[in-house]
Amino acid sequence: MREDSPSAMIGLASPLLTRGICAPARSLAALTRRRLGSARNARDRGALQIVSEGTGRFIVGGNWKCNGDRASVTALIEALNGGDVGDNVDVVVAPPFLYVDQALSELKSPMQVAAQNAWVEYTLEDETHHYDSDSGAFTGEVSAEMLEDMGVPWVILGHSERRTLLGEDDTTVGKKVAHARFHGLSVIVCVGESLEQREAGATMDVIFKQLRAVADEIDDREHSSWGSQVVIAYEPIWAIGTGKVATPEQVQAVHAGIRQWLKDNVSEEVSKATRIQYGGSVNEGNCETLARESDIDGFLVGGASLDATKFAQICKSSAVHYKAVGRA
C-alpha cells in the first residue's frame, strides 16, 4: 500500500478489531485523529462529545432481506405500529418485494418503506444518466419505474450481498443510483470492504472507488439533494450478520473519511447534509455506544429489524446521538 493512499491517510491499515488508529501524519489522518482524540477526552471527562459534522436527521433503516411470510410480516407490522421509535428520527423498513404493498398500506407514520433493489440495464450508455430501458425483457427484475408507480419512496442499492453474491460492480451500482434518483426514489447506497481488504489497509481506497462510481453518475443538478435523498450506509462486509462489530472509533474514522471525501469531491454543503449510516451487526446492545460518535447519523439494521422491540430501541438511540453531539 502506498504511504499516501487514502487508506493510509485515514489510518485504517490495522487488522480487524484489534488495534487502534495508526497512520502517517497526513492531513486526513491528522483530522481524524483530532476528532477521535477530542471524543475520547470528552468521554474521559464525562462530558458531551464533539459537535457532529453532519446536519441531517438521524435515520434508521430495517432491511428484512429474504425473511418472512404473510403471518410473520403481518405480526411485525402490527408490532411496529404499536411500538415507540422515538422522536426526530427517520425510519425506513425494507420488506421482501412480495410484501412491499402490504407494508405501504399498513405501516403507520413515521415509518416509510424501501425496496431492497431496483433493476437497471447496466450495459446502457446514457449521457443523461437516466438509464431508461426501451425493453422489458428482464425476467424477475423490478424497475425503478414500477417502484415510482407504486409510491415506494426509498430503495436500498449496492448492498454487499448483491455485490458479492450477484456480481454487481461499482459501475452498475452507480447507474442504479442515477436511474432511481431520476424516478424520484430516495436511495440508501451501501459501501464497505471485505476482511481481506481491511487487513491489506485498503478500506478507504475501496470505499472511495465505490463513492466515485455514484458521484460520476449523479447529474450535477442532483448534488443538492444528496443530503436528504441519498444516504450512504457503511457496511463492512466482515461485520454483516457475523456478530462482529467494528469498534466505534473504527466506524467513526471511516465515516469521517467519507464526509471528507464528499467535501473534496462533491461540495461542503453535501458533505454536511449527507447522512452516513453504519450497518454491521447493529443491535439493541451496541447501538447507543455507536450512536455517540459524531459522524454516525443512523443505522442500517439487518437481523435485529425483524424484532419490533429491538428495532424500536435502536431507533430511539437517536436521542443519544443528538445529546452526544450537542444537538439535543
Please check the confidence at residue 245 and state whether its pLDDT lies above 90. Answer: no
Q: Band the pLDDT of 220: cuts 50, 70, 90.
A: low
Please check the confidence at residue 280 and state whether its pLDDT lies above 70. Answer: yes
Average pLDDT on 87-95 reads: 96
pLDDT value for 227: 67
In eight-state DSSP terms, residue 144 is H
Q: Band the pLDDT of 228: cuts 50, 70, 90.
A: confident
Please check the confidence at residue 13 and state whether its pLDDT lies above 90. Answer: no
Please check the confidence at residue 58 and state whether its pLDDT lies above 80. Answer: yes
Average pLDDT on 168-175 reads: 97
- Write b or e for each residue in 10-29: b if 16 or more Cβ atoms lie within 10 A of its Cβ, otherwise e: bbbbbeeeeeebebeebebb
DSSP string, 267-322: -HHHHHH--EEE-SS--TTTHHHHHTSTT--EEEESGGGGSHHHHHHHHTHHHHHH
Please check the confidence at residue 19 and state whether its pLDDT lies above 70. Answer: no
Average pLDDT on 230-249 reads: 89
pLDDT value for 244: 78
| Active-site amino acid positions | 159, 235
pLDDT value for 171: 97
pLDDT value for 197: 95
Asked if residues 231 and 277 have their Cβ atoms less than 8 Å apart, the reply is yes
pLDDT value for 129: 87
Which three cell numbers mark 260?
471528507
pLDDT value for 222: 60
Please check the confidence at residue 46 and state whether its pLDDT lies above 90. Answer: no
d(CA 58, CA 319): 9
Q: What is the pLDDT of residues 296-321, one digit of tens each?
A: 999 999 999 999 999 999 999 999 99
pLDDT value for 135: 86
d(CA 316, CA 321): 9
Average pLDDT on 191-198 reads: 94
At 110, the amino acid letter reads P
pLDDT value for 10: 45
d(CA 296, CA 137): 41
Q: Band the pLDDT of 284: cuts 50, 70, 90.
A: very high
pTM, 2 dp = 0.85
d(CA 55, CA 297): 9
Average pLDDT on 148-170 reads: 97
pLDDT value for 92: 98
DSSP string, 51-114: PPS--SPEEEEEE-TT---HHHHHHHHHHHHHS---SSEEEEEE--GGGHHHHHHHPPTTEEEE
Average pLDDT on 206-224 reads: 84
Average pLDDT on 97-112 reads: 97
Share of the chain above pLDDT 70, in %: 81
Which three cell numbers mark 10?
485515514
